[in-house]
A = this chain, B = another copy of it.
């Protein structure tokens, strides 16, 4: 995983935070598939993911419409695998508008 190469703000971020259950069979595959699907989605800018029992995934998008479409599309395509009661005890999605950013990089 690396830091997403996003354009100059403004753009949008979907912040997904989740607490996993112990039942994680097939989970990694589905996450991988969702990442692949996201990359083909209109307006997708990048994705970052960290953690396991407590997971944070941030995906970046050109605009709010892109997030909305992605949500509809992903849910439709892998709905049966996205059994939230199986994989998650709880999750929260926060849709936000990135206003500014700064960073640091070696080398």
A residues within 8 Å of B by Cβ?
Answer: 1-4, 6, 9, 13, 15, 17-19, 48-52, 54-56, 58, 64, 84-85, 88-107
Residues of B within 8 A of A97 (CB): 96-97, 99
Alpha-carbon distance A92/B88, docked complex (angstroms): 28
Q: How many copies does the complex hold?
A: 2
Q: From residue A63, how far is it (CB to closest CB) to chain B in Å?
A: 12
Partner of A3 from B4, B17, B52, B98 at Cβ < 8 Å = B17
Apart from A88-B104, A95-B101, A96-B96, 11 more pairs, CB < 8 Å: A1-B54, A3-B18, A13-B13, A15-B15, A50-B51, A51-B51, A56-B56, A94-B98, A94-B100, A96-B97, A96-B99
A55 and B64 contacting across the interface, CB-CB below 8 Å: no
Main secondary structure of the interface of A (DSSP, over half): strand
Alpha-carbon distance A107/B52, docked complex (angstroms): 21
Partner of A90 from B50, B99, B103 at Cβ < 8 Å = B103
Alpha-carbon distance A54/B58, docked complex (angstroms): 13
